[in-house]
Amino acid sequence: MLLKKQTVWLLTMLSLVVVLSVYYLTTPEKQPVNMAGTEEKEEKQQEAGVKKEDAKQPVAKKETKDGATVVTREAGDDAFEALRMELTDLRSKQKEELTAIVANTKLSAEEISDAKQKIEELNSVEEKETIIEKLVLTMDYDAALVRVNGKDVDITVKADKLSPSAANSIIQLVNKEFDSTHDVVVNFQPEK
């Protein structure tokens, strides 16, 4: 008995479905991984570790012009990175708010233009902070943190000793990157 091509094709597909079904039913079930939950646990563990370290170190809080509080503390590279992340989060929130303004079609063109300009300014400040940090690190410092708040530039450098000439070199470096109207403060944190 000769089978038609369609019948052969149909039987082949049915056998394939049966084989895949058997394979699916016999393989051990893998538990789905909740990546959001995993990330939250890791963040909580990291925060707990940072909080333990923070208890040993002096803390100074500074109010910014926009009402945000920037926390500074004596620490090493990990604390610098934590402060950098806080600053990045704050700026990300500001950018989200400004992006919402840009996306709002009910606002005037001037308001949208102002929001776009502020976003560009935030991006420019972030780029300049990164450039200055990299330039300071090339001056043989272990860690550096640069924060720009309006016309104030705060630079914290991890170093063994406070040298007026080193601070002056850092200030000159900042003045090359920014205009000279910025107030530059250089702080040295002792290496541990």
Give per-residue pLDDT as tens, 134-180.
888 888 888 888 888 878 888 888 887 767 888 888 888 888 877 66
In angstroms, rounded to a whole number, what is the distance separating the alpha carbons of residues 154 and 157? Answer: 10
- 3-class secondary structure, 46: helix
The answer on pLDDT for 130 being more than 80 is yes
Mean pLDDT of the chain: 75
**H-run or E-run covering 142:** none
Model confidence at 95: pLDDT above 70: yes
C-beta separation of 126 from 149 below 8 A: no
> Which two three-digit tokens encode residue 53?
């370290």
CA distances from 191 to 102, 109, 171, 188 (A): 45, 51, 21, 9
Strand boundaries in 3-151, DSSP class E? 59-63, 69-73, 144-149
pLDDT greater at residue 96 or residue 189: 96
State pLDDT tens for residues 52-85: 444 444 444 444 444 444 444 344 478 888 888 8
C-alpha dist (Å) from residue 142 to 22, 57, 192: 59, 19, 11
Q: Do the beta carbons of residue 64 and residue 154 sit within 8 Å?
A: no
Query: Domain 80-189 belongs to what topology?
Result: Helix Hairpins (1.10.287)
For residue 84, the model assigns a pLDDT of 85
pLDDT confidence of residue 8: 85
What percent of the chain is predicted at pLDDT more than 90?
A: 3
